[in-house]
Structure 1
Amino acid sequence: MDAWEHLKDQTHKTPLITSQTTNQRTGKNVYFKMENQQKTGAFKFRGASYKLMKLTPAELERGVITASAGNHAQGVALAASRMGVKATIFMAEPTPQNKVNATRGYGAEVVLVGESFQEAYEASLIHQRKTGATYVHPFDDYDIMAGQGTVGIEMMEQCPDLDTILVPIGGGGLASGVAVAAKSIKPDIKIIGVQSERAPSMFNAFHTGTVKRLENVSTIAEGIAVKEPGLLTLPVIEDYIDDVICVSEEEIADAMIYFLERSKTLVEGAGAAALACLLANNEKIDSKHTGVIVSGGNIDISRMPDISKLASDLRSEIEQESQLKKSHVPAK
């Protein structure tokens, strides 16, 4: 609750909205937590702000440094700017240009290096040792987790009837924070983590009990493309998360297009992952009041044609399967 007290006047209390179309399609009462409407366009501003608030004056004086897939970068950049602190952000070279530009726009120095978050992260650690700047990890930090956990507190306050929350997982900062926060309020609530099947590091660790670093994490959900789980987040997720499910590129793309069609809302791949999980696994998810965290909306618009094609392919496949089933219905 300390994070909640610190952040309640610093962050937006984002809306929890419903969709009659989604309710009818799933047979559930579905509530979307619109963190794409948070400052900087993603939930990451919460954790970054709380972390910087907890640093000492000496730590702030040295400046802060981090690595990010994009949204944490913007969160740290804005939080640092507000506090008059120098911020240096390492990002992978393929990071969407809109996220790079936004981070620079908030006043941070951006260093582009490597093909994935992991390479950028390793480069940032080397730079940190040279400069002595204070490191602000994007997920593997208890203050970061606590800050992200305020999403869960708000959701339970906005809808106490929630019995399940679906949350995207990259390194696990959001999922661990939300799980601890929500279960501290309602111990029997179920928390389901969602990963891209092209970046299943937490899925693998959760279901096998072993951590293995992935070689490649290329996905349209770059915000959750992490090669290995956090050392701090993994034990929390093992203790507090009820299940971790993977979704395909086509399912993520379909959820992104669904948001556009049904609510005129633009979300990024990671932001659509939780809805993708619900739509693809609806019959397996036993829930009446389902929370879906829409974690961010910072999408590279130039990728929309590819995303639309993926969604179209999936819908065509589903339609073909439906027609095939109808053709095999025995005549009465």
Structure 2
Amino acid sequence: MVTYDRHRGRRDALVQELAHRHRLAVVPSANDARIIAGAGTVAWEMLQEVPDLAAMLVPVGGGGLAAGTALTATGHNPHLQVFGVEPAVADDTLRSLRAGRLTPIPPPATIADGLGHAEPARVPFQINLRLLADVITVPEDAIADAMALLWRHYHLVAEPSGAVAFAGLLQAADRLPDGPVGVVLSGGNVDWTAYRTLVDIAMERMGDQSHAAPMLH
């Protein structure tokens, strides 16, 4: 295992150095057309189930999953709106879209560590700049609340990054078009102790409100 200081180190440069030294192939998480195309199969499967979706919500980190979703969704229906969702403290994509260019932020601290990017990846950003309807940002408590509701009502274990799009639905339903909405729940890779702590705190904070949740298909 190789570690680095995310506040001062350059992860991509370190990866390239290790790949060159050990003759390894680098598989980027977002910054590659093939990765983006593969990510688009998520939206394709959703549209096979519900062809008349009015909107999709998808987590945004490096931007590959969002770009693949947007390409597939708008190719299926140009009027289908795709919204990226990211933590409010890690809003590099929102700032970049508003500015029309890559806009780095300081390394963020968020429970959704898979979305804690300081800058969008270049290749998916150009797609997201063109195709995303908007980006919704959610506070940390809302992410934990989404995890708790997914567990309580749907028996789904979602890591914080995986629950972010559902948090966006809970926070910004009034911004979405009328009609069915698809929500990408993108992972359950979470330490069980940390997960239990976040969910227990969220349950206590929500109280009786945790009895209400949107219907998922």
Shorter-chain TM range is: 0.7 to 0.9
Deviation at 1:111, TM superposition (A): 2.9
User: RMSD value over aligned CA atoms?
Assistant: 2.1
- C-alpha distance in structure 2 between counterparts of 1:310 and 1:176, whole Å: 33
Q: 2:162 is matched with which residue?
A: 271
- 2:101 pairs with one of 210, 233, 246: 210
Q: 1:143 is matched with which residue?
A: 34
Helix, strand or coil at the partner of 1:195: strand
- Code of the residue aligned with 2:185 in structure 1: it is V
On the 8 A contact 1:250/1:314 being kept in 2, the answer is: no
- C-alpha distance in structure 1 between counterparts of 2:13 and 2:92, whole Å: 17
C-alpha deviations, 1:31-56, integer Å up to 9, x for none? xxxxxxxxxxxxxxxxxxxxxxxxxx
Residue 49 of structure 2 corresponds to residue 158 of structure 1: yes
- 1:131 pairs with one of 22, 31, 35: 22
Residue 127 of structure 2 corresponds to residue 236 of structure 1: yes
Q: 1:175 is matched with which residue?
A: 66
Q: 1:296 is matched with which residue?
A: 187
Q: Indicate the percent of aligned positions where both proteins have the same amino acid.
A: 30
On the 8 A contact 1:214/1:228 being kept in 2, the answer is: yes
On the 8 A contact 2:107/2:117 being kept in 1, the answer is: no
TM-score (norm 2): 0.88
Question: CA distance change for structure 1 residues 210 and 313 in 2, over 3 Å: closer, same or farther?
Answer: farther
- C-alpha distance in structure 1 between counterparts of 2:15 and 2:29, whole Å: 12
Structure 2: tracts of 5 or more residues without a match: 211-217
C-alpha deviations, 1:151-191, integer Å up to 9, x for none? 11111111101110000000000000011011111111000
Runs of 4 or more, structure 1, over 4 Å off, are none
Q: 1:224 is matched with which residue?
A: 115
Question: In the TM superposition, what are the counterparts of 1:22-171 in structure 2 within 5 Å?
Answer: 110-115=1-6, 119-171=10-62
Deviation at 1:246, TM superposition (A): 0.6
- C-alpha distance in structure 1 between counterparts of 2:206 and 2:80, whole Å: 32
Residue 85 of structure 2 corresponds to residue 198 of structure 1: no
TM-score (norm 1): 0.59
Deviation at 1:119, TM superposition (A): 4.3
Greater CA radius of gyration, 1 or 2?
1
Please state which structure has a larger fraction of its residues in strand: 1
Q: 2:76 is matched with which residue?
A: 185
- C-alpha distance in structure 2 between counterparts of 1:308 and 1:133, whole Å: 39
- C-alpha distance in structure 1 between counterparts of 2:63 and 2:142, whole Å: 21
Helix, strand or coil at the partner of 2:110: coil
- Code of the residue aligned with 1:208 in structure 2: it is A
Structure 1: tracts of 5 or more residues without a match: 1-109, 320-332
C-alpha deviations, 1:270-327, integer Å up to 9, x for none? 11101101111112222310000001111111213541365257537x89xxxxxxxx
- Code of the residue aligned with 1:210 in structure 2: it is R
Helix, strand or coil at the partner of 1:237: helix
Equivalenced residue count is: 208
- C-alpha distance in structure 2 between counterparts of 1:122 and 1:226, whole Å: 15
